[in-house]
Amino acid sequence: MRVCLDTNVFIAVMNREEDCEYCEAIMDAIDDGRIEGIVPTLVITEVLVGYYKNKEYKLADKFLACIARSYRIIPLDIKISKLSAKLRAEYGVKLPDAIVVATAINFADRLITKDETLLRKFPNKVNTPKDFVERFLI
């Protein structure tokens, strides 16, 4: 199974948010090769902002090394741009969210996110970390 991770999954682990153990379980499954991890370049950029704001350059480099080692990185291309524009126009989602959803539609079986809007608008493609772990990893 291929899963695309949204920015908030990584941030939940970084900030030790409630239910972050589900995000960690998904990342562990990716690291172990039980599932394939997909990450849009936009997500990498958004996660790095937090590290750079806090001047955590070594942690940023560690994050990048982990991503490069364990995830398939998907750049923004014409196909994703076109679908992103359609999703934004049709569903009214923010452009970054549209890019992440378009990436998931094109390259993954599921999108893992904590974003309630995406969960509501794309219920056949999107899972919360907790729901994904309980349905697919246990």
What is the reported pLDDT for 3?
Answer: 98
- In one-letter notation, the amino acid at residue 1 is M
Please check the confidence at residue 138 and state whether its pLDDT lies above 90. no
Write the CA distances from 132 to 9, 50, 80, 96, 136, integer angstroms: 12, 25, 24, 22, 6
Which CATH architecture does the domain made up of 2-137 adopt? 3-Layer(aba) Sandwich (3.40)
What is the reported pLDDT for 45?
Answer: 98
Please check the confidence at residue 28 and state whether its pLDDT lies above 90. yes
Residue 41 near residue 75 (C-beta atoms within 8 A):
yes
Q: Mind listing the pLDDT tens digit for each residue in 39-93?
A: 999 999 999 999 999 999 999 999 999 999 999 999 999 999 999 999 999 999 9
What is the reported pLDDT for 87?
Answer: 98
Domain boundaries, the chain: 2-137
What is the reported pLDDT for 72?
Answer: 98
Burial (CB count within 10 angstroms: exposed 0-12, middle 13-18, buried 19+), residue 116: exposed
